[in-house]
Structure formats: structure tokens, C-alpha cells
Amino acid sequence: MVAMKYWIEPLADERDLEGVLEVEAASFTNPWTRDMYAWELQNRSVCHIYVVRTEECRVAGFCAFWLVFDEIHINNVAIRPGYRAQGIGTGLLHHVLAAARQLGARRATLEVRASNEGARRLYERLGFYVAGTRRNYYTHPVEDALILWRDEDGQPRAGAATSHS
Ligand SMILES: CC(C)(COP(=O)(O)OP(=O)(O)OC[C@H]1O[C@@H](n2cnc3c(N)ncnc32)[C@H](O)[C@@H]1OP(=O)(O)O)[C@@H](O)C(=O)NCCC(=O)NCCS
């Protein structure tokens, strides 16, 4: 199979935001709304959004994170359904982690649904580990969140992201 050609850029304009909202709606049971993103985008020094582009798709995926001191908090990451399982999510997260390092980040954290095995495997491969649980954090359906962290060295450790169930 020929690898899909894609590239990653910071969110540029309203059309990109439209694309992000489409990917949100196709990926999550309680997607972030336009108003939530508008609020986020008022503070571009904290809120960073990167989009994945292909020749035929302006926004094939995206990742939104906050930069807080020397940490990034990854709030949302998603790839359009037709573009999944081709390495794009992995490429996007590598890109985001490298960009965050350039901005001075040393650690990364995110929350993931306990049942989201695919995402957990992806994070574990990138060196994220389980640091805690937020009980009943998610709705639609109600479910625990696992709190993952990744340190600067990216070395997986005892509580790797798939070791809790
Ligand atoms: C989680 C998500 C972002 C991953 O994106 P992705 O582009 O599918 O990720 P990748 O392709 O890099 O890796 C996913 C799988 O595809 C496999 N894969 C990677 N490259 C591949 C290729 N060239 N051919 C076939 N499979 C491949 C990986 O091995 C991985 O397999 P796994 O199921 O064993 O982990 C995506 O599934 C998604 O948007 N899910 C819905 C939203 C979501 O759950 N977001 C995370 C919230 S915390």
C-alpha cells in the first residue's frame, strides 16, 4: 500500500475551524462546539491547534493542546474516519510533541476513555503512562478517564497506558 501523503500546519482560518468541527462531530459522542473553540482561540499563546492536510482533504485530522508553563495538555486529537489506521495519528502526535518541545514544554498530559484501546495503544507507543484515574469523568456514556503523562525522555514505565483495564 502506498503511504498517504499528508502534512501538518497550525490552524489558519475559519475554514480550518469548520474542518475541525466536522472531525470532532465524526469522532466524539459529545464533541466540542464552535463556541468552545471560539473561546479557546481567544488565547493563542495558550491554545494551539494543528491540522493534518492531504491533497484532497483540507482537514483530515487535528490536535488541540494548551501550553501551560513547561507542560502541554492535549485536549483533543482525532483523525477523520476514512484516514485512520495509516499512521497519521502517530505522525500528528510526533509533530505536536516536537512543536511543544520547541515552545519549551518538557512534559505532556492528556485524558483518555478507559475503553479507548486504540488511542491508549497509540499513546503507550509514544511513551505515555497511566498516572491516575478520574472516576465517571466522561458522559455519553459515563466512563472513567485515565490520566496519562509523558516525560521528556518519552520512556514508557510501569503504568504504561494499556496496563490498566
Ligand atoms: C485515536 C486516533 C486519533 C488514532 O489515529 P490514527 O491515524 O488511526 O492512528 P495511527 O494510524 O497512527 O495508529 C492507529 C493504528 O493503525 C495502525 N497503523 C499505523 N500505520 C498503519 C498503516 N500504514 N497501515 C495499517 N495500519 C497502520 C497502528 O499500528 C495502530 O494500530 P493499533 O490499533 O494496534 O494501535 C483515531 O483513531 C481517532 O480519531 N479516534 C477517534 C477519536 C479519539 O478516540 N481520539 C482520542 C481521544 S483521547
Nearest residue (CA) to ligand 1, atom 18: 85
Whether 165 has a pLDDT exceeding 50, the answer reads: no
SS3 22: helix
Q: Which three cell numbers stand for residue 1?
A: 500500500
Q: Does residue 89 have its Cβ closer than 6 Å to ligand 1?
A: yes
Query: What's the one-letter identity of residue 71?
Result: E
Q: Does residue 54 have its Cβ closer than 6 Å to ligand 1?
A: no
Instruction: Tell me yes or no: is domain 108-165 CATH 1.10.287.1080.
Output: no
- CATH code for the part of the protein at 1-105: 3.40.630.30
Nearest residue (CA) to ligand 1, atom 28: 85
Contact 51, 59 (CB under 8 A): yes
Q: Does residue 75 have its Cβ closer than 6 Å to ligand 1?
A: no
Q: What are 9-52's pLDDT values in tens digits? A: 999 999 999 999 999 999 999 999 999 999 999 998 899 999 99
Q: Provide CATH 3.40.630.30 ranges for the chain.
A: 1-105, 108-165
Closest atom of ligand 1 to 113 CA is: 48
Q: What are 80-127's pLDDT values in tens digits? A: 999 999 999 999 999 999 999 999 999 999 999 999 999 999 999 999
Whether 164 has a pLDDT exceeding 50, the answer reads: no
Q: What are 65-83's pLDDT values in tens digits? A: 999 999 999 999 999 999 9
Residues making up the chain, counted from first to last: 165
Q: Scanning the structure block, which residue is given the C-alpha cell 474516519?
A: 81
